[in-house]
Amino acid sequence: MGPGNYSHITEFLLQGLSREEGTQPLILGFFLTMYLITVLGNLLIILATSSDPHLHTPMYFFLANLSLVDICFVSTTVPKMLVNTWTQSHTISFEGCIAQMFFAILLGVLDDFLLTVMAYDRYVAICHPLHYTVIMNPRLCGWLVLGGWLISAVYSWLQSLMVLNLSFCTELEIPHFFCELQQMVRLACSDTFLPDIVMYFATAILAGGPLAGISYSYSRIISSICRISSAQGKYKAFSTCASHLCVVALFYCTVLGVYLSSNTTHSSSSMAVASVMYTVVTPMLNPFIYSLRNRDIKGALKRCVGWTAIQEASVLGVKTCPLLKTLKSQPRKL
């Protein structure tokens, strides 16, 4: 297949994490468990923040959006890998590969934006507490989330168009478990100078910019916390942003570790294994970090589960006790 004939390509091959037959059941069970935990944990966060009126605040609004993005992120990559592992077929259609790459870029960049917005929210809450409700009003929160979606969608659309304009040769095996942008560009046999420039420039802007914003926000937060006189006040102020700081550290350490190590070792297989950290492990750990360190989330989940149990018990009690059902149906006599 010569250059320029990308339109005749019907499918790619995803190499996955391992081709050894003995490891396939282990990989299938391991990733299926992580996927179910990720979806269930993030759904509980969304349920808690939406059902409890006390959590209808900007911080938990952004947290619910982050949980939704994490569910979509893992659902973009993991189910296809599970199907390929189960069926022992590593193929993915050309259109499916482009769609997977598009949504992986979209949701990955959006995850980064949401972490930045959450850092700004904590900065306003700690450094400007008296003006918090005025600054972080519902309209601004909505615009921040919408702006993140728009910027992420434009960037993902631009990168997808550039990949569509590339020419691919006979080597169509992607050394990864999903259609990752960098690996797709490496497979091209046409000139990739422009996609490489756009990819590195956009990465510097879309990753470096949010990282600089998060660093600035937390530098101001730490400065404000240090000026608090009481130790209890310092602990209370720090506890409001400790969970977010843990998630930011986990996200950036895994992403930077993956790409820095890949540039050092030049091993695509090691990059695929390391990518599991930020594509699967980080979204799975986020609900645990926020729920274990946040009394409001734990309280909302307990109230939600408790109310559900009470409703089920009352329904079962009526169904299993005909006398009680009869007494309830009879009108009260004065």
The tens-digit pLDDT sequence of the chain (334 residues) is 444 444 467 788 888 777 676 778 888 899 999 999 999 999 999 988 888 888 889 999 999 999 999 999 999 999 999 998 888 888 899 899 999 999 999 999 999 999 999 999 999 999 998 999 999 999 999 999 999 999 999 999 999 999 988 888 776 888 888 998 888 888 888 888 888 888 888 878 888 888 899 999 999 998 888 888 878 777 777 777 888 888 888 888 877 766 665 555 555 666 777 788 888 888 998 888 887 667 777 777 777 766 554 455 445 554 445 544 444 455 544 4
CA distances from 320 to 189, 273, 324, 325, 329 (A): 71, 53, 9, 9, 15
The three-point CA angle 285-287-290 to 5° equals 105
The one-letter amino acid at 222: I
What pLDDT is recorded for position 2?
Answer: 42
Which pLDDT score, from 0 to 100, does residue 196 have?
A: 83
Residue 167: burial class (beta carbons within 10 Å; 0-12, 13-18, 19+): middle
Contact (CB, 8 A) for 97 and 184: yes
CB atoms within 10 A of CB 59: 21
DSSP string, 63-102: HHHHHHHHHHHHHHHHHHHHHHHHHT--EEEHHHHHHHHH
Determine the pLDDT at residue 123: 92
pTM score, whole prediction: 0.83
For 253-291, give the secondary structure using H, E and C: HHHHHHHHHHHHHCCHHHHHHHHHHHHHHHHHHHHHHHH
Q: Which domains are assigned to the chain?
A: 8-299 (1.20.1070.10)
